[in-house]
Structure 1
Amino acid sequence: MFYLKIFDTPQRMMGLAQEIITVSQLNENIKYILEETFGFVWVEGEISNLRRPQSGHVYFTLKDDKSQIRAVYFKQFGRYRQGVSFELEEGLHILCRAKVSVYTPRGEYQLIVESAEPRGVGALQKLFEQLKVKLAAEGLFDEKYKKTIPFLPRIIGVITSPSGAVIKDILNIMARRFPSVDLIIAPVRVQGAEATREIVQALRNLHADGRTEVIIIARGGGSLEDLAPFNDEMLAREIFHSSIPIVSAVGHETDFTICDFVADLRAPTPSAAAELVVPEREELLKKLQKLDDRIKVGLLRCVEEKKDELDELKTRLRDPRRLLAGWQIHLDVLRDRLKTAFHHIEKNLYTDLRQRELRLLHQSPARKIEEKKEKINNIGRNMRRIFSGRLAFYNEQLRRTAVVLESLSPLNVLRRGYSITRGMAGNAVIRRADELRVGDDVNIRLAEGSIDARVKKVSRG
Structure 2
Amino acid sequence: MPEDAEILSVTQLTREIRDVLEGHIGSVWVEGEISNHRLQSSGHQYFTLKDAGAQLSCVMFRGAAARSSARIQDGALMQVHGEISVYEPRGQYQMVVKQVQAKGKGSLQERFEALKRQLHAEGLFDKENKRPIPRFPRVVALITSPTGAAIQDMLNILTRRAPWVRVLVFPVRVQGQGAELEIVRALKVLGNAEEYGLPVPDTIVVGRGGGSLEDLWCFNEEVLARAIAACPIPIISAVGHEIDFTIADFVADLRAPTPSAAAELLAPDASELQRHFESIARTLKARVSTLLDHHQHVIDLTAKGPLLHAPERLLQQAEQSTDEAESRLRDALRERLQTLTDDLTQKQHVLAAHHPRVQLAEAVHRSESLSQRLRQSVLHRLDRLNDRLEARGELLKHIGPESVLARGFSYTTNAAGRVLTDAAEVSEGEELVTRLTKGTVRSTAK
Q: Normalised by the size of structure 1, how large is the TM-score? A: 0.44
The two structures have a TM-score, normalised by structure 2, of: 0.46
Structure ID, larger Rg: 2
